[in-house]
Structure 1
């Protein structure tokens, strides 16, 4: 699953990476324990995250959406949607035409040791990664798939990392039906760095 991710990015970096005409306003990085209202840094469920989608003029736009969908069948938000069952679940089926990208510098997964201890791991690449997501109103949900070999030693699921500009463009293309882009929702084949933080830092997450 994907319950935390990092957006340690500048507006210029995001604009350049995703071809935005106007750089988004990315605030200074603020440690998450200081304020739950300031986006940037580590994004947790219910906090706002930067997302990129297709604009009405054919270009791309960036905005801030709340991480997690509010639903009436559970107390907390739904933060992940399994790629394998997107078209089967009513909650997600109606959002299949509302697709966006979530730029991240890394995401966080926890490795559970034999004693039950949880160890946070940062997973990222050499640059900005684009996670596949669905959105509605002011909310988004991250799409997940089976873990790649690099991630499997930490967790059996991972967010869908779209593999390159072509895949990213196709995912947010409003002219493509979900059936045309469903094949993009596969484990990431690119290089990923997995870095485990010391147990003493686990409380920060």
Structure 2
């Protein structure tokens, strides 16, 4: 799974990169310890009826199914498994009609050596540009409360990543952004593959990131193993 990530790109640069109209209430950046249930930057595509424009907006990280009576009425759904995305009642409609992009600099994952404590790693792109996760989104409403929420799509990890954790977010390359957003017809399901080792780089980081209150760029600095 992915439970923490970092993002430092300014919102206006993101809007330009993704060719998306930005909202006025985007979260403050940089943030090197983005945690579940907080508002995150998300790019989605409006319906054709609404001109089909890309929008850069805040969404709560933690998908809330429409049948929840409160946002905490069931499990916290920050990740959605690619293998069952089209079948799970919570996700299947969003999988077809409400896909989104979630930009990041990189993400954290924890590995527990045999007999030892969990140690945090930072995973980021090996090349230039942001890391972009495949996501799904949904607006939840009950009485007077309304939340727009999202989850990251994950898949089985391979290669070096599998040595750290068995799951990895689905990472989309720029030429796949439009297809995932539904701008280029069918075929989004074929994008739900693990990233190759040569597209990622990995390093150990300090245990300060274990706290959801920690902040600052020092969280992503490499330490000696």
TM range (shorter): 0.7 to 0.9
- Report the TM-score when normalising by structure 2: 0.76
Is 1:67 paired with 2:22? no
- Report the TM-score when normalising by structure 1: 0.83
Distance in 1 (alpha carbons) for counterparts of 2:160 and 2:18? 26
Match of 2:14 in 1: 14
Of 146, 169, 173, which aligns to 2:178?
A: 169
Structure 1 unaligned regions, length at least 5: 30-39
Give the alignment's Cα RMSD to 1 decimal: 2.2
Distance in 2 (alpha carbons) for counterparts of 1:74 and 1:156? 28
Match of 1:51 in 2: 42
* 19-28 vs 103-112, which moves further: 19-28
Q: Give how far 1:175 is off.
A: 6.7
Distance in 1 (alpha carbons) for counterparts of 2:53 and 2:63? 26
- How many residue pairs match? The answer is 191
Structure 2 unaligned regions, length at least 5: 140-147, 213-225
| Matches for 1:44-193 after TM superposition, within 5 Å | 44-55=35-46, 56-71=50-65, 72=68, 75-96=74-95, 97-125=97-125, 126-137=128-139, 138-162=148-172, 164-173=173-182, 176-177=185-186, 180-189=187-196, 191-193=199-201
Counterpart of 1:117 in 2: which secondary structure? Answer: coil
Larger Rg belongs to: 2
Distance in 2 (alpha carbons) for counterparts of 1:17 and 1:148? 29
Counterpart of 1:115 in 2: which secondary structure? Answer: coil
